[in-house]
Structure 1
Amino acid sequence: MKLKKLVLTGAAGRLGSYLREPLAAMCDELVSTDLVDDIGTLYAGERYAKADLASYDQIFPLLEGADMVIHFGAIVDEKPFEELLGPNFIGSYNIWEAAHQHGVRRVVYASSIHAVGMHKKADFIGIDAPHKPDTFYGLAKCFTEDLGSMYWDKRQLESVHLRILSAAQVNNSRALGSWLSYDDLIQLVTRAIDTPSVGFAVIYGVSNNDRCPVDNAKASFLGYRPKDNAEEFAEKVLAEEGPVDITDPGQMCHGGPFAKVDLGQSGLAQMNVVDDKKTT
């Protein structure tokens, strides 16, 4: 399926860096956008536009003529509410409202496990689990999921909300269940784009891990069939990490370190995320 135009927000981020090339191949024109001055070498059919998600006037013209928006732009950590308000809350509204005004068909949104991060991993929650955010960051994901649901119900703007667990190198025991490989990320986004009809949909972004703690059965209509499995890293990770504290909410809850930090305090600071951004 060759689309006319796609818009990718957060294109300068780590996950965005892996999406640019496959998205460019799916459309005649890919508009990549972020806050950096220069995104580097562009792929065939790609152009870059610097824009602030919190500014409707900057976002609105970028969506003109777009078939779909792949919305990955945001502050990707816990921060004080006031810092997240512009990019993570107002930014989502600006994307959905601009998409509606331009007649865009669908938004594919990088939601997060942190929308349900205070649920216990032992509960094996499905896509219909009630919101239970672990942070202001997770609250922004809840807000945007509800925004997408409302725009579908009231304005027939489709959206797929990808509750990504952890798309980063497997270097801790939590990631043995939560890992989303970059190849599976690309497949997940592709299925969110090429499924003929989605309405409002939620799906967990996670690979085919033996220890996967969530249930995607009710999202099977999207056709996402992950291939990678974090178990290949288990022996090394478990030997290095040793026993865990079973009273620690960071170990017991889906949100991991985000479930234990104080509101407004960085969750990423508690994690060893490797910046392996793809370079063109």
Structure 2
Amino acid sequence: MLKKIVLTGAAGRCGSILRPALAAMCETLVCSDIVDSIDGLAANETYVKADLADYAAIAALMDGVEMVCHFGAIVDEGPFEELLGPNFIGSYNVWESAQKAGARRIVYASSIHAVGMHPRQSYIGTDAAHRPDTFYGLAKCFSEDLGRMYWEKRGIESVHLRILSCAPVKNARALGTWLSDDDLVRLVERAIDTPTTGFAVIYGVSDNDRSPVDNSNAAFLGYKPQDNAEQFAEEILAAEGPGNPADLAQMVHGGPFGPVPLGQGGAAAAAKGDD
């Protein structure tokens, strides 16, 4: 059992799903977000309100930490200036303070939007070149590169989870991109308990028949998804009907983030229903 895990973004959807599992893996779980409080704390769990863009606040979380699960961010497209603090500077603050505190590894919630402009018909692997679809996706590219640099220059491991769609299946795209709640937990558990990882990238996706990505390069992590979105296919496909190849959202891995204008939030979040 680990002595201490720090979880950022604890009030978000993924963070809320992960908290019980993380609490069971460590003696002390320290959670943070920008809300005033969160409910249902485990006996070994504490909550600290902290802004990712505030280095001192983030560094104060890290004393004695072994693993950091960095899930905090603005999770929509928006003006670069709005994403700069939480999504770019926030990642630097996490990596810099974690390595200074002696953390062994950071598990980071990256996203398919780091490679979102690759054609959907291309079955991309974890070594696919960065092709962000938005400033939001660009922040994921930055944090992946940051993690690689800190591994190569300072020896702190990181596992970057390119999550596709961590939400209920509501459209045809999600038949391939769905990451179930239970598989999210399995994914993070393997990212934490694998003995050594160095710098690694793995797609966060369930065992979907229609998965558009290849996780074979990350097999050493031992992630074995159990759920499959095909159970929803008949109902979803009957409701949606034929697709439209002229719609960029249906033709790139980033889905609705593909056609969204740079810096314009809201539209992407309303359309995506995913990560």
Is 2:81 the counterpart of 1:82? yes
Q: Distance in 2 between matches of 1:121 and 1:264?
A: 23
Distance 1:119 1:273 in 2: 18
The one-character-per-residue Cα deviations of 1:5-57 (angstroms, maximum 9, x if unpaired) are 00000000011100000000000000010000010121120000000000001
* More moved, 32-41 vs 155-164: 32-41
Partner amino acid for 1:245?
A: N
Query: In the TM superposition, what is the alpha-carbon distance from 1:271 to its structure 2 partner?
Result: 2.9
What is the correspondence of 1:183-222 to structure 2 with a 5 Å cutoff? 183-222=182-221
Change (3 A) 1:97 1:272: closer
Give the CA deviation at 1:107.
0.2
Partner SS state of residue 148, structure 1: helix
Match runs of 1:2-21 below 5 Å: 2-21=1-20
1:139-175 Cα offsets, whole Å, 9 max, x none, are 0000000000000000000000000000000010000
* Structure 2 counterpart of 1:116: 115
Question: Any conservation in 1 of the 2:52–2:72 contact (CA below 8 Å)?
Answer: yes
Q: Which residue of 1 aligns with 2:269?
A: 268
Tell which deviates more after alignment, 3-12 or 258-267. 258-267
Q: Which residue of 2 aligns with 1:147?
A: 146
Which deviations, in whole Å up to 9, do the C-alpha atoms of 1:183-227 show, x marking residues without a partner? 000000000000000000000000000000000000000000101
- Please tell me the residue identity of whatever aligns with 1:213: P
Which residue number corresponds to residue 98 of structure 2?
A: 99
Instruction: Output one character per residue of 1:236-261: Cα deviation in whole Å (capped at 9) or x when no partner.
Output: 11111112211111001000000111
Q: Distance in 2 between matches of 1:272 and 1:153?
A: 36
| Structure 1 Cα separation of the partners of residues 112 and 168 of structure 2 | 17
Residue identity matched to 2:90: G
| Offset of residue 273 of structure 1 | 5.7
Alignment partners' CA distance in 2, 1:215 and 1:272: 22
Taking a change above 3 Å as real, the CA distance of residues 55 and 9 of structure 1, as seen in their structure-2 partners, is same
Kindly indicate whether residue 203 of structure 2 is the aligned counterpart of residue 169 of structure 1: no
- Which runs of at least 4 in structure 1 moved beyond 6 Å after TM superposition? none
Aligned length: 273
Aligned counterparts of 2:168 and 2:5: Cα–Cα separation in 1: 28
Aligned residues of 2:165 and 2:274 also touching (Cα < 8 A) = no
Pairwise CA RMSD: 1.0
Gaps of 5+ in 1: 275-280
- Partners of 2:166 and 2:274 within 8 A in 1: no
Provide the secondary structure at the position in 1 that maps to 2:110.
strand
* Equivalent AA in structure 2 for residue 8 of structure 1: L
What percentage of residue pairs aligned between the two structures are identical? 67
Secondary structure in 2 matching 1:134:
coil
- Work out the CA distance in 2 between the residues paired with 1:110 and 1:190: 13
5+ long unaligned stretches in structure 2: none
| Structure 2 contact 174–274 (Cα < 8 Å) conserved | no
How has the CA–CA distance of structure 1 residues 253 and 101 changed in structure 2, closer, same or farther, with 3 Å as cutoff?
Answer: same
Query: Hey, what does 1:24 align to over in structure 2?
Result: 23
**1:39 maps to 2:38:** yes
Q: Secondary structure at the match of 2:89?
A: helix
